[in-house]
């Protein structure tokens, strides 16, 4: 059994759509690694997905991962909706294209590389890992805003 890596993820958006950021805090054997980034015109859901994708992609070999998110969209998507979307060729039950299918497909690829357990936490509720990821996501928003104003 390998040591478990914990990844705390969060997304943020100022306006929806608007400038957005994502953050991921990776913790392995007590060592923390911070990741963040942003986009000038995006949505909160896209940033939540990007945080999970980038956190998992950072792992260079297959790992046991606990991924902690405050996004019900990510949790329900990965656990409930994704299997049926794949069966229906990335269409919803209403036969509409899945929103953010590009990112869902990337997340599906990253999850397949690892043994991922998912945990949902209430956002902005004092959970240290989630608060840290939120701070990183907001750092990403700031970097995205600077790119749009230059």
Report the binding-site residues for Mg(2+).
Answer: 10, 48, 70, 134
Question: In angstroms, rounded to a whole number, what is the distance separating the alpha carbons of residues 61 and 36?
Answer: 21
Q: What is the torsional sign of CA 96, 102, 103, 105?
A: positive
Asked if 23 is an active-site residue, the reply is no
Asked if 124 is an active-site residue, the reply is yes
Residues marked as binding?
Answer: 10, 48, 70, 134
Asked if 48 is an active-site residue, the reply is yes
Separation in Å, CA 107 to CA 47, 50, 82, 136, 146: 12, 8, 10, 20, 27
Asked if 11 is an active-site residue, the reply is yes
Asked if 37 is an active-site residue, the reply is no
Q: Which residue has the tokens 């260079």?
A: 60
Q: Which of 23, 37, 38, 70 is catalytic?
A: 70
Q: Which of 10, 38, 132, 140 is catalytic?
A: 10
DSSP output for 52-116: HHHHHHT-SS--EEEEEE--HHHHHIIIIIHHHHHHTTSB-TTSPBPTTHHHHHHHHHHHHHSEE
Q: Which of 15, 34, 72, 124 is catalytic?
A: 124
Burial of 99 by CB count in 10 Å (0-12 exposed, 13-18 middle, 19+ buried)? middle
Asked if 129 is an active-site residue, the reply is no
Q: Which of 23, 48, 77, 132 is catalytic?
A: 48
Active-site positions read 10-11, 48, 70, 124, 134
């Amino acid at each position: 059994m390998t040591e478990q890596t914990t990844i705390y993820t969060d997304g943020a958006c100022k306006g929806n759509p608007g400038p957005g950021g994502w953050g991921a805090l990776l913790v392995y054997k007590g060592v923390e690694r911070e990741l963040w980034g942003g986009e000038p015109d995006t949505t909160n859901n896209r940033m939540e997905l990007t945080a999970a994708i980038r956190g998992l992609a950072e792992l260079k070999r297959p790992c046991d991962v606990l991924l902690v998110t405050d996004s019900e969209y990510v949790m329900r998507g990965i656990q409930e909706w994704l299997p049926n979307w794949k069966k229906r060729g990335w269409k919803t039950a209403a036969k509409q294209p899945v929103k953010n299918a590009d990112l869902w497909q990337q997340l599906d690829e990253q999850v397949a590389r690892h043994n991922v357990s998912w945990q949902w936490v209430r956002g902005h509720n004092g959970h240290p890992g989630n608060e840290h990821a939120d701070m990183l996501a907001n750092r990403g928003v700031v970097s995205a805003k600077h790119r749009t104003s230059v």
